[in-house]
Structure 1
Amino acid sequence: MLNEYLKKILTSRVYDVAIETALHIAPFLSERLGNQIWIKREDQQGVYSFKIRGAYNKAAQLTEEEKARGVVTASAGNHAQGLALAARDLGLKAVIVMPRTTPEIKVRSVKAKGAKVVLHGDAFDDAFAYSQKLVAEKGMTYIHPYDDPDVIAGQGTIGMEILRQMQQPVDAVFIPVGGGGLVAGVAAYIKALKPEVRVIGVESTESACLAAALAAGKRVTLPEVGIFADGVAVATIGEHTWAIAKDCVDEVITCTPDEICAAIKDVFDDTRAVCEPAGALAIAGVKKYVEREGCEGQNLVTILSGANVNFDRLRYISEVAEIGEGREIILAVTIAEQPGSFQRFCSLLGKRPITEFNYRYGDDDKARIYVGVKVGPEPGARQALLAELQADGYPVLDLTDDEMAKYHIRHMVGGHAPAAVYDERLYRFEFPERPGALLLFLKTLGKRFNISLFHYRNHGAASGRTLVGLQVPEEKLAQLHGYLDELGYPYWDESDNMAYQLFLR
């Protein structure tokens, strides 16, 4: 079987539209992991994904009768763009069925290439069922996004390029897995020529259909799939892809959405490319592999499979990237409800940057704060900080792995002030985002007036933005403004702001 696929890969017609993408080392990631980490840049293709390879190879080999009937496919986006481009270049009518959850950037890209788009269902399987209805009713030729020998062979040309481009021996290749077309094609080529190279599939924990199949020894259907990594949101590994993967894939590593977000940041740091979640899977996988194996000095190749991501998703990705890297921890800490408590707590953190600080007055004795803290990459940094806080008498709860806390509670901390906070004034501040700026801010205000509300989030900008509620008797208002002017940071009195009056007062 491998020899048959080897021949198909060598004779594929992908280079009518695809390019041989760059393969280069990731300097920062390599230094951090102690291995040479290589990135195969499939985001450089005209459709920002490897999918053009398999889609075009299949479409180009259709019979004239099949071409005349037009082509149809179901896809979450990247295969859709590849087939739309292939159909345009070959003069074919194309209908693309996409899940309604497909990022808008992919939908627009498909339409721009002249294909008709039908949005149906919430996942790939729903879209696939509808596409089969079009095949039955209109006789169109179905081009499968992954489970077809010619599609697999087209994707396999990436493996051919990797072995040709690498001058050093390759120890392992990490490949993202959805339905399996990419991993099957690359694995078939590599194992046919270099069986000693480890082929490692990488899946999202939300759609690990190959891992489930390998564990069961047969294809299985997942009861549900998550759509964060929409490009690999497939419930069942393909039939043709399984026939190759079960024998040619050495292992599968699964990665959480948080780990995928961290990998997107790693790719950006090394390449300035912004990849989609599915595109970063292989990078997330190689990090887990190195941590587990403790290997050093190896040549580890990853495939950056795509860069079709909606811009508005980057906000979420950046929010959790540091958590996924293990460099930010989220804590619930109880401190004394008295002036100076915030400052003492921040002083205890030392040089560790505070990334987030949320608080709302609750009672006269205890203040419960929601705080994010950056920690170093060294092993045990998280546990060391927890131990320091507990040794100093702070009741602390680690929320870093609490899904509800990270994605919901952090935005809901606060609420209306209790009746006891009758003299609260609300101020918005901006100050230079540099080490110690927040602590200086608290030193100036924290001992003079009781802080009844505090919200701060480090977004990596030049200026930090903070919202602060202070209990200030009317007769001390002029004194407060004198301190604020002395502090020298721009500030605005938001006490009459209607949003404050409605939701916080």
Structure 2
Amino acid sequence: MDSKPDYCATDNKEKLYMETPVMYSFPLSKHAGFKVYLKLDNLQPSGSFKIRGISNMIQKGIDRGDSEHVYCASGGNAGMAAAHASKQLGIPCTIVVPQTTPEFVNERLRNLGAEVKVHGSVYDEAKKLAVELGSQPRCMLIPAFEHPDIWEGHASLINESSRQMSERPDLVITCVGGGGLLNGIVQGMRDVGWDEVPVLAMETHGANCFNAAIAAGEAVFIPAITSIAKSLGSLIVSPQTLEYYKQARPRILNEMVSDNQVIDACVRFSDDHRFLVEPACGASLAAVYSNVVKQLQDSGKLGTVKSVLVVVCGGSIVSTAVMEKWKADFGI
């Protein structure tokens, strides 16, 4: 593995994420009627793509000499990524979680060497404490998605894919929550000359802040997260994401699917490829399993598609027990 990050500006440190494979999917290609390639970031050590951007941000802070302690408010994928990167870099990490966070999540974070502070009954209260602690001298607050260093790290996903694929895809499919991953994908596509390839950004009903921003013409708050796809659960999208949408380089299409479609995609993907992924990732997979691509073609919004690249973003908070519960809850 190359010891230098593809995009990360820290030339003197090894990258802390894996170069994950792009795999041709026979089952999804057969279902879709076009070639489906999977960028398997579910294989990242922390369980999701977030290690790319968060490790980049932490490494840059260390290189500047102003970051000796990492703070993050997240019991999910951002927290896992922050804890994993901090452990590899040998610096202290504190993850602040609300009281509703399952104990098994807290234990996973502790196993990575992180201090876990349980604070408040909801996420916003935990975030408030993390912001306070992270504002101390020589400390770094890690946001879930809203930072250029995070986007820069995520761009490495496309750089790798462009080298790994023998052909340029006709469409890139991803999910979108707060917009950090999508921002990185857009930056990466511009860097590798894929800016003529459209992007399909998938959301769920009830976790659709990007769709709301498009409709309003500006970043707006949605009232609440009512979807099972909690990892997409930002109440407002990054203003940069909406700006990229308006610039249309690449053109970004936005579609929403139901929670039932998302869980169906997660279950079918586990059967087809023996991988467990979170509902947020299921939103991307549902673009294929629920024939969203074909619907866009039929409506004239999308042209000829011979191959697609699906970003399998992963998710660390999933298990066989959780998957069985989803199946029971949604009658799948």
The 1:51/1:184 distance shift into structure 2, 3 A limit, reads: same
SS of 2:168's equivalent in the other structure is coil
- Structure 1 residue 272: deviation in Å? 0.6
Code of the aligned partner of 1:254: M
Aligned twin of 1:155: 154
User: Contact between 2:179 and 2:238, CA under 8 Å: does it hold in 1?
Assistant: yes
Aligned twin of 1:335: none
TM-score by length of 1: 0.58
User: Contact between 1:279 and 1:304, CA under 8 Å: does it hold in 2?
Assistant: yes
- Structure 1 residue 305: deviation in Å? 0.8
Aligned twin of 2:215: 215
- Structure 1 residue 313: deviation in Å? 2.0
- Structure 1 residue 115: deviation in Å? 0.9
1:290 aligns with 2:293: yes
User: Contact between 1:184 and 1:245, CA under 8 Å: does it hold in 2?
Assistant: no
SS of 2:61's equivalent in the other structure is coil
Aligned twin of 1:303: 311
1:270 aligns with 2:283: no
User: Contact between 1:54 and 1:155, CA under 8 Å: does it hold in 2?
Assistant: yes
Aligned twin of 1:176: 175
Q: Whole-Å Cα distance in 2 between the matches of residues 102 and 22 of structure 1?
A: 32
In structure 1, runs of 5+ residues without a counterpart are 1-7, 324-505
- Structure 1 residue 143: deviation in Å? 1.6
Code of the aligned partner of 1:204: T
The 1:296/1:106 distance shift into structure 2, 3 A limit, reads: farther
- Structure 1 residue 146: deviation in Å? 0.8
The 1:197/1:67 distance shift into structure 2, 3 A limit, reads: same
1:112 aligns with 2:96: no
- Structure 1 residue 237: deviation in Å? 1.0
Aligned twin of 2:200: 200
- Structure 1 residue 246: deviation in Å? 4.2
Tell me the C-alpha RMSD between the 2 structures: 2.5
1:316 aligns with 2:294: no
Deviations 1:143-169 (A, max 9, x none): 212111111111111111122212123
SS of 1:62's equivalent in the other structure is helix
1:24 aligns with 2:23: yes
The 1:126/1:165 distance shift into structure 2, 3 A limit, reads: farther
- Structure 1 residue 122: deviation in Å? 5.9
Aligned twin of 1:128: 127
Q: Whole-Å Cα distance in 2 between the matches of residues 103 and 27 of structure 1?
A: 36
Q: Which has the larger radius of gyration?
A: 1
SS of 1:224's equivalent in the other structure is coil
Q: Whole-Å Cα distance in 2 between the matches of residues 227 and 101 of structure 1?
A: 17
User: Contact between 1:232 and 1:278, CA under 8 Å: does it hold in 2?
Assistant: yes
In structure 2, runs of 5+ residues without a counterpart are none
The 1:159/1:144 distance shift into structure 2, 3 A limit, reads: same
Code of the aligned partner of 2:95: I
Q: Whole-Å Cα distance in 1 between the matches of residues 244 and 172 of structure 2?
A: 16
Deviations 1:3-47 (A, max 9, x none): xxxxx9634459522111111122112111211122111111111
SS of 1:66's equivalent in the other structure is coil
Alignment size in residue pairs: 315
TM-score by length of 2: 0.86
- Structure 1 residue 320: deviation in Å? 5.9
Sequence identity percentage: 26
- Alignment of structure 1 residues 286-365 onto 2, 5 Å: 286=288, 287-292=290-295, 293-294=297-298, 298-308=306-316, 309-319=318-328
1:84 aligns with 2:83: yes
SS of 1:182's equivalent in the other structure is helix
Q: Whole-Å Cα distance in 2 between the matches of residues 161 and 143 of structure 1?
A: 25
- Structure 1 residue 245: deviation in Å? 4.5
1:10 aligns with 2:7: yes
User: Contact between 1:264 and 1:276, CA under 8 Å: does it hold in 2?
Assistant: yes
SS of 1:61's equivalent in the other structure is helix
